[in-house]
């Protein structure tokens, strides 16, 4: 449910002549922002997937949830009413929320949860942002089914920095469990073992043609021959980075994380959980039907993952069908100009995958046993795209390195505060038994700089900071690891595997130029970690493999046109360097967007102090801010 009302700008015209007034009344709406109101009812809903009907938590009974469509400059109010049985909060992923952490949403970081039967209105302004973002629950594992698109259009009259598409279509990638995701998490929390992997990958809420009882509901993307469609791709998956490919068509990347990029062509897109990518696709192929497919990029060796493939159908209006097999050279050189050979099936330089179906399309180069099982669908089967092997780090790296800002930028500097932090796994020692079922009779965990992040449960971190409540957190998060070692070695001494639990924040001066180095570790397993910083976009200056060396790697910094992002994939067994100006006061969560890692402790928070001016201070909390249960 959404309503809009006009702002007061149109009232300032009484002194103009009638002719001028007529002209201005015609022109002014392009500059007028709107106030938009939505009501989100969080509730249980019965849905059927994979031949099974089960209850899931949704917003307004929709899965995926409602799409929010706004313009830059709008103000938004979203009343969240919790009619479900779980506590819930909502996060507006990628919105800056300037001075307004109260609307950011992570549970016990900026607010206490909305309890069953309660409500809270998130109020925020869209300020200088446009593109594809998304919203999701930020409480336990509810975001598995509580998520949706957040589309910010340019102010009326302001064009895109690329040819205007004829149509657009959101593509929301997600994961599906045959069990309640909260039960999956609880089992892991009790036993200490990593949570079970999902049972299917989804595109717009559906697994597609390749899984049982799914072909009738496969998502359709309608296109017209010769026209260009903007696909707004969102990775809302809980724990899986995903490759995406479209049969018979190239994609032109034009934005990532709601920031425009230098356009480049590709046949494969990679998105970590939390990331978004906008691509233009021109329908220039023979009219028919073509699969858009998504499957895992599994960077960690020996770690289980969901190896299913989700499909949607890119369908020409009035098309008479299309070839039943794909041609071409596979995913070789998938990213234009990247010069890397990568491929799943038929591509040069294919890398052996992990898990069932490695290096093939769902374990078979042809159709799966479910692929042709939709009697209501006439004509030839859609064309299949080639996807990289599950562990194709070459293609993943080539894609990520191709993203650049569209024009030279002024990178902030010099650096005044720097954090070098490890990101990786850890194992907690425990007494053998039913609560000690992790690897080698331990409990699974994760950490940053050996601190496994623990949330409070009596008051949020932002409330404790704003009201000067003692004993909730400390501000001594270490700016460097307590011990330096060969971080990416596969033989890290076991004495370094056990982190320390704590609620430690890192204090940042307002206006500081902050540089963070994220360093992956080989503890238990090296893996790519999509790191998200709330309240900020940041410049990605460089990424690389191995141990970061500030002297050796300085020449790799892109100080000309680095991409601006809110979520960065730290390469498996590697590092990433990001930089930003601390111009947004408050408490802002920094975490891996793989939820199995976040719940294991892979997070921390920045405490950005107020500046000296009135507009450099955190806003006062809203009156309806939820209270914590006593």
Contact between 388 and 243 (Cβ < 8 Å): yes
Window from 354-358, 482-486, 581-585 with minimum mean pLDDT: 354-358
Radius of gyration of the chain (CA): 24
Residue 418's SS3 state is strand
Is the pLDDT score of 331 beyond 60? no
Q: How many CA atoms lie within 13 A of 335 on its CB side?
A: 22
Contact between 332 and 348 (Cβ < 8 Å): yes
pLDDT bin (cut points 50, 70, 90) of residue 377 is: low
Q: Which helix (H) or strand (E) holds 223?
A: strand 220-223
Rounded distance between C-alpha atoms, residue 613 and residue 621, angstroms? 18
More confident residue, 369 or 433: 433
Rounded distance between C-alpha atoms, residue 304 and residue 294, angstroms? 18
Rounded distance between C-alpha atoms, residue 374 and residue 476, angstroms? 59
More confident residue, 334 or 291: 291
Rounded distance between C-alpha atoms, residue 203 and residue 245, angstroms? 12
Please name which of 191, 265, 205 lies closest in space to residue 56, comparing C-alpha atoms.
205
Q: What is the mean pLDDT of residues 24-29?
A: 37
Rounded distance between C-alpha atoms, residue 25 and residue 282, angstroms? 37
Cα pseudo-dihedral 454, 503, 108, 74, rounded to 10: -120
Annotate 160-173 with DSSP letters as a single string: PSSPPPSEEEEEEE
Is the pLDDT score of 499 beyond 50? yes
Contact between 244 and 275 (Cβ < 8 Å): no
Contact between 173 and 235 (Cβ < 8 Å): yes
User: Looking at the domain 417-616, which fold is it?
Assistant: Immunoglobulin-like (2.60.40)
* Residue 139: per-residue pLDDT: 98
More confident residue, 574 or 491: 574
Pair of tokens at residue 319: 């098309």
| Cβ-based neighbours of 521, under 8 Å, separated by 6 or more | 422, 423, 424, 425, 487, 488, 492
User: Looking at the domain 2-153, which fold is it?
Assistant: Immunoglobulin-like (2.60.40)
* Residue 319: per-residue pLDDT: 61
Q: What is the mean pLDDT of residues 37-66?
A: 98
* Residue 494: per-residue pLDDT: 86
Residue 264's SS3 state is strand
Q: What is the mean pLDDT of residues 432-451?
A: 95
Q: What is the mean pLDDT of the chain?
A: 88
Assess whether the region 2-153 and the region 167-401 belong to the same CATH fold. yes
Please name which of 517, 525, 513 lies closest in space to residue 543, comparing C-alpha atoms.
517
Q: What is the mean pLDDT of residues 112-122?
A: 98
**Where in the chain are the domains?**
2-153, 167-401, 417-616
Asked whether the bond before 35 is cis by omega within 30 degrees of 0, the reply is no
Cα 58 vs. chain centroid, distance in angstroms?
A: 19
pLDDT digits (tens, 9 = 90+) for 340-371: 222 333 232 223 333 333 332 233 222 333 33
* Residue 1: per-residue pLDDT: 55
More confident residue, 259 or 8: 259
Counting residues of the chain whose pLDDT is more than 90, the rounded percentage is 83
pLDDT bin (cut points 50, 70, 90) of residue 275 is: very high
Contact between 611 and 596 (Cβ < 8 Å): no
Counting residues of the chain whose pLDDT is more than 70, the rounded percentage is 85
pLDDT bin (cut points 50, 70, 90) of residue 380 is: confident
Q: What is the mean pLDDT of residues 225-232?
A: 99
pLDDT bin (cut points 50, 70, 90) of residue 333 is: very low
For 167-401, CATH gives 2.60.40.420
Q: What is the mean pLDDT of residues 159-175?
A: 98
Rounded distance between C-alpha atoms, residue 8 and residue 23, angstroms? 18
């Amino acid at each position: 449910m959404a309503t809009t009302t006009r702002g007061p700008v149109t009232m300032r015209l009484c002194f103009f002549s009638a002719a001028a007034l007529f002209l201005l009344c015609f022109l002014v709406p392009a500059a007028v922002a709107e106030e938009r109101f939505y009501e989100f009812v969080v509730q249980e809903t019965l849905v059927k997937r994979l031949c099974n009907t089960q209850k899931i938590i949704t917003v307004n009974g929709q899965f995926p949830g409602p799409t929010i469509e706004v313009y830059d400059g709008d103000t938004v109010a979203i009343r969240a009413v919790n009619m479900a049985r779980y506590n819930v909060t909502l996060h507006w992923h990628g919105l800056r929320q300037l001075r307004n952490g109260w609307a950011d949403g992570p549970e016990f970081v900026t607010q206490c949860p909305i309890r069953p039967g309660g409500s809270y209105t998130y109020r925020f302004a869209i300020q200088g942002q446009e593109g594809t973002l998304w919203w999701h629950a930020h409480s336990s594992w509810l975001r598995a089914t509580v998520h949706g698109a957040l589309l910010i259009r340019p102010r009326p009259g302001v064009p895109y920095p690329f040819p205007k598409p004829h149509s657009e279509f959101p593509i929301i990638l997600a994961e599906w469990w045959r069990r309640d995701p909260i039960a999956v998490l609880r089992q892991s929390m009790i036993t200490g073992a990593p949570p079970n992997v999902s049972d299917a990958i989804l595109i717009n809420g559906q697994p597609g043609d390749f899984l049982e009882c799914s072909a009738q509901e496969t998502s359709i993307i309608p296109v017209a021959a010769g026209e260009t469609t903007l696909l707004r791709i969102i990775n809302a998956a809980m724990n899986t980075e995903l490759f995406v490919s479209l049969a018979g068509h190239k994609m032109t990347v034009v934005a990532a994380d709601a920031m425009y990029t230098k356009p480049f062509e590709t046949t494969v897109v990679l998105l970590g959980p939390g990331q978004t990518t906008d691509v233009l696709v021109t329908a220039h192929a023979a009219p028919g039907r073509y699969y858009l497919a998504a499957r895992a990029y599994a960077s960690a060796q020996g770690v289980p993952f969901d190896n299913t493939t989700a499909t949607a159908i890119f369908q020409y209006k009035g098309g008479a069908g299309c070839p039943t097999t794909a041609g071409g050279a596979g995913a070789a050189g998938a990213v234009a100009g990247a010069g890397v050979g990568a491929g799943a099936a038929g591509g040069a330089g294919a890398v052996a995958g992990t898990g069932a179906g490695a290096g093939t399309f769902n374990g078979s180069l042809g159709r799966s046993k479910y692929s042709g099982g939709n009697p209501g669908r006439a004509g030839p089967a859609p064309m299949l795209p080639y996807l990289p092997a599950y562990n194709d780090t070459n293609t993943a790296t080539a894609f990520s390195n191709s993203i650049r800002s569209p024009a030279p930028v002024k990178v902030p500097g010099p650096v005044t505060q720097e954090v070098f932090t490890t990101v990786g796994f850890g194992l907690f020692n425990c007494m053998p038994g039913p609560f000690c079922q992790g690897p080698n009779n331990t409990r699974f965990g994760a950490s940053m700089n050996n601190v496994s992040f623990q949330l409070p449960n009596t008051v949020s971190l932002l409330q404790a900071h704003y009201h000067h409540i003692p004993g909730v957190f400390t501000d001594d998060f270490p700016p460097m690891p307590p011990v330096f070692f060969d971080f990416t070695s596969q033989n890290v001494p076991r004495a370094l595997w056990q982190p320390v639990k704590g609620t430690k924040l890192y204090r940042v001066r307002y206006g500081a130029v902050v540089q963070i180095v994220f360093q992956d570790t080989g503890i238990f397993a090296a893996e790519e970690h999509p790191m998200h910083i709330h309240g900020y976009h940041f410049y990605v200056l460089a990424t690389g493999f191995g141990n970061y060396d500030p002297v050796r790697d300085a020449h790799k910094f892109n100080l000309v046109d680095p991409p601006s992002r809110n979520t960065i994939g730290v390469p498996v067994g590697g590092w990433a360097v990001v930089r930003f100006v601390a111009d947004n006061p408050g408490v802002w969560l920094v975490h891996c967007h793989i939820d199995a890692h976040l719940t294991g402790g892979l997070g921390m928070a920045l405490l950005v102090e107020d500046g000296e001016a009135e507009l450099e201070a955190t806003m006062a909390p809203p009156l309806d801010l939820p209270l914590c249960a006593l």
